[in-house]
Amino acid sequence: MALAVGMRVLTRALLRPWARGLRAAPGRTGPAAGGGDGVRCFRSPRVLVEPDPAAGVAVVKMRNPPVNSLSLEFLTELLISLEKLENDKTFHGIIITSDCPGIFSAGLDLTEMCGRDPEHYAEYWKAVQEMWLRFYLSNLVVIAAINGISPAGGCLLSLTCDYRVLANNPKYAIGLNETLLGIVAPFWFKDTLVNTIGHRSAERALQLGLLFPPAEALRVGVVDQVVPEDQVQSTARSVMAQWLDIPDHARQLTKILMRKPTADRLLTERDADIENFVRFICKDSIQKSLHAYLEKLKQKKG
């Protein structure tokens, strides 16, 4: 009993600075919308939350058609949903998945990084940072049920989760493929991948912009499990049950111990990282290649 109380005090003491750090951070998505019953059933235009209060789990479905690109509005809605769930004591875990057939997420929204002004780029990048920080450090168990292709920022979102289940479909692939677009994954993208698959595999994957099909993704460790498409959600559910069996405070503290040094680096270099992004994305050459890439995507149809 005394040990449990002691652990709770220690947990709060260790977790609080994190909450403070993130709450004080610029680009926060607004105050939490209360806890308790009122929060159990909610949706926003682009995020559908299906709560299962009895299990302590909510399924968060990304619904930003056609490709779940991570636009500023979509990121904001995702963050608000996460925060609501974190603030409701009913929930201990979330499963993040897609409501867009065949696509988990196409990654960062290229239209947010193309043809806009520097203020917009700064605001957008702050939201991307916030997404990474909040998901990476969430006190909830976060499991990705990856039911579609997941390049670049889509892969990053998956990598912030505690466990990844990928559908075994040859059309799907996952990876940080930024170099193929002529852009460079920032250090915190890189660190997240290194923490997941190790330095050598990450170096090769990042330099070559590799998008791993399911079997390869499993072999290299980008995902933890590959299952038939119709078993992705049920597998995520049973993995969640295993994770929720672990005492919450011990699991949360361990997660922070593992992830704190990586998150710390961005927290201390956040403004410089934004400046760096804005400088990079404003370059004529980068704008030209992003524009050409977007055009190529559009012409693919015609």
Ligand X SMILES: CCCCCCC/C=C/C(=O)SCCNC(=O)CCNC(=O)[C@H](O)C(C)(C)COP(=O)(O)OP(=O)(O)OC[C@H]1O[C@@H](n2cnc3c(N)ncnc32)[C@H](O)[C@@H]1OP(=O)(O)O
Report the site for ligand X in 239-298 (rule: CB under 6 A): 276-277, 280, 294, 297-298
DSSP strands (E only) in 91-176: 93-98, 102-103, 141-146, 148-151, 163-167, 174-175
Q: How many CB atoms lie within 10 A of CB 256?
A: 17
Q: Is 223 in the site for ligand X (CB under 6 A)?
A: no
From 147-155, 209-217, 242-250, 252-260, give the range in contact with ligand X by CB under 6 A: 147-155
DSSP strand pairing (57-62 vs 102-103): unpaired
Q: At what angle do helices 187-197 and 118-136 cross, to 10 degrees?
A: 20
In whole angstroms, the minimum distance from the beta carbon of 61 to ligand X comes to 17
Query: With binding defined as CB under 6 A, does residue 151 bind ligand X?
Result: yes
Within 10 A of 148 (CB to CB), how many other CB atoms are there?
A: 26
Q: Shortest Cβ distance from residue 244 to ligand X (Å)?
A: 31
Told to judge if 177 belongs to the known catalytic residues of this protein, a careful annotator would answer yes
Give the nearest residue (CB) to ligand X: 107
Element (H, E) at 215: helix 214-220
- Helix 118-136 × helix 248-268 angle, to 10°: 150
Q: Pick the closer one to ligand X by CB: 70 or 226.
A: 70
Minimal CA–CA distance to 114: which of 270, 281, 1, 251?
A: 281
Shortest distance in whole angstroms from residue 78 CB to ligand X: 14
State which of positions 47-66 bind ligand X (CB under 6 A). Answer: 66
From the list 178, 206, 209, 266, the catalytic residue is 178
Residue with tokens 């015609």: 302
153 is catalytic: yes
Which residues of the shown chain bind ligand X in the complex (CB under 6 A)?
Answer: 66-67, 69, 103, 106-111, 149, 151-153, 178, 181, 183-186, 276-277, 280, 294, 297-298, 300-301
